[in-house]
Amino acid sequence: MTDIYDVIIAGAGPAGGQAARDLASRGYDVCVLETESEDEFPSRSNKSTAGTFPSTMASFNIPDEVVMNFTDDVVLESPNHHFRRHQPGAVLEFADFKNWLVDESRADGAEYRFDARVSKPVMEGGEIVGVQYNGGEEVRAEIIIDATGPSAPLAKELGVCELKREKQAIGIEFEFEGMDMNPDGYADLRDTMMLRLDHDIAPGGYSWIFHTGEDTAKVGVCYLQNEGHRKNAQTGFTIDDYLQYWTDTDPRFENAKRIEGIQHRGSAHIQLPSRMSTDNFMAIGDTVPTVDPLWGEGIDKCMRSGRMAAATADRVLTHSERDTSASELAIYDKLWHDRVAPKAKNRLFMTEMLYRASNERYDAFMEDLHSIPEKRLNAANKGNPLAMLGLLKFEDISTLLSTAKHWFAN
């Protein structure tokens, strides 16, 4: 006999875990299918820098116990300059954080099935009614949620997401000890999250150092395989080579040692989702492109998408008719654009422009940031078109035009 639930969630990451947490707390029968074994979870999926902000901690009641280090500032670096801004944050221990979500939702009645690799949807009458996993096993529900990330076995089969290769960002991160967080000639990175724009290290992307306490830090590189990468890439270099080049040439790593056994690799797509739902189905987290395009922050966005999907499910399942049609679940798409990633299109355009700029322009930009009013920076970060244009100079016109040409061609 096939088990039947109110909601099935494929994937136990921040999005899936938060959706399960919200739905279980409201009394729904929820089943979460997770590929990894419970003993190892999350090892293969432990792939986030896990930097987030106080608003996220407060919104989702994330406990201090899963925080590696609370930070005071954000630092932006270019090859020769830097800019510091007071912005409190928190660097999470990602594995502890994900296990906390599992424990929280389980405490409210959510069922987890580990070692459960989702393969395809179970269809009836052209609509999804369940999930097949581990070859031939099935579970069914009134609503199915895909939170599996870029693999997206359900969303792809249903034609809900189209993840483009040229919009895929790949990343690698190690953890180091023995770091010099305040060497001469560099910004003081103690209790900060630092993002560096430098094509020599991350062509078409960025690199980072997140202080995790004392002389330890998370260090990584991420880039889109886009025009900015192709133009600036070093022949034959892999992403590992770029990270190695950085650690070999930056004095902050002179006495640093990589912490053995800790390595995070992952990918996400930086593009505007076309749609996120259909009959009986919603896609959340990185199953649809949810990572913040400018800052690379994913935890808050993923958890918010899980929360909006849970709110949508609650709305339709509370109704006496329990109408889970595409027209009813489309409220999730609206909530996503309003509350998860407002003005996503504008911010994506700004990101594409940023990654096409030169190292020399990055240096000039860091210098400019010191004189730009904070109000304008906040508005630009939120995707305000006039504020975004206010950051540009005459020499940016060619970058603006090339970005627009590529944007409208795709």
Last residue within a domain, chosen from 246, 269, 292: 269
> Is residue 86 domain-shared with residue 99, that is, in the same domain?
no
Around 141, how many Cα atoms within 13 Å sit in the side-chain half-sphere?
25
More confident: 17 or 43: 17
Question: Taking 80 as the threshold, does the pLDDT of residue 295 lie above it?
Answer: no
Confidence band for 45, pLDDT divided at 50, 70 and 90: low
Question: Taking 70 as the threshold, does the pLDDT of residue 297 lie above it?
Answer: yes
Place of tokens 């990572």: 291
> Is residue 208 domain-shared with residue 247, that is, in the same domain?
yes
Last residue within a domain, chosen from 305, 340, 375: 340
**Phi–psi pair at 195, nearest 5 degrees:** -115, 135
| CATH code of the domain in which 328 resides | 3.50.50.60
> Is residue 146 domain-shared with residue 41, that is, in the same domain?
yes
pLDDT of residue 113: 98
> Is residue 259 domain-shared with residue 395, that is, in the same domain?
no
User: Could you report how far apart the first and last alpha carbons of the chain are, in Å?
Assistant: 47
> Is residue 193 domain-shared with residue 255, that is, in the same domain?
yes
> Is residue 199 domain-shared with residue 332, that is, in the same domain?
no
Residue type present at position 318 = T
Cross-strand partners of 139: 3, 131
> Is residue 373 domain-shared with residue 296, that is, in the same domain?
no
Last residue within a domain, chosen from 307, 324, 340: 340
> Is residue 234 domain-shared with residue 251, that is, in the same domain?
yes
Question: Taking 80 as the threshold, does the pLDDT of residue 351 lie above it?
Answer: yes
Confidence band for 344, pLDDT divided at 50, 70 and 90: confident
> Is residue 69 domain-shared with residue 200, that is, in the same domain?
yes
Cα–Cα distances in Å, from 372 out to 193, 251, 263, 362, 378?
21, 30, 37, 15, 10
Cβ count near 38 (within 10 Å): 13
pLDDT of residue 294: 63
> Is residue 124 domain-shared with residue 156, that is, in the same domain?
yes
> Is residue 207 domain-shared with residue 75, that is, in the same domain?
yes
Instruction: Please state, for a pLDDT cut of 90, what percent of the chain lies above it.
Output: 68
Taking the C-alpha atoms of residue 37 and residue 143, their distance in angstroms, rounded to an integer, is: 24
Number of domain units in the chain? 3
Q: Is residue 57 part of a domain?
A: no
Mean pLDDT, range 316-331, rounded to an integer: 94
Question: Taking 90 as the threshold, does the pLDDT of residue 307 lie above it?
Answer: yes
Confidence band for 42, pLDDT divided at 50, 70 and 90: confident
Confidence band for 35, pLDDT divided at 50, 70 and 90: very high
Place of tokens 């400018």: 294
Confidence band for 410, pLDDT divided at 50, 70 and 90: low
Mean pLDDT (the chain) is 92
> Is residue 333 domain-shared with residue 353, that is, in the same domain?
no
Instruction: Please state, for a pLDDT cut of 70, what percent of the chain lies above it.
Output: 97
pLDDT digits (tens, 9 = 90+) for 158-180: 999 887 777 788 899 999 999 99
Of the candidates 185, 125, 118, 199, the one whose C-alpha atom is nearest the C-alpha of residue 152 is 118
**Residue-range definition of the domain harbouring residue 258:** 64-92+166-269
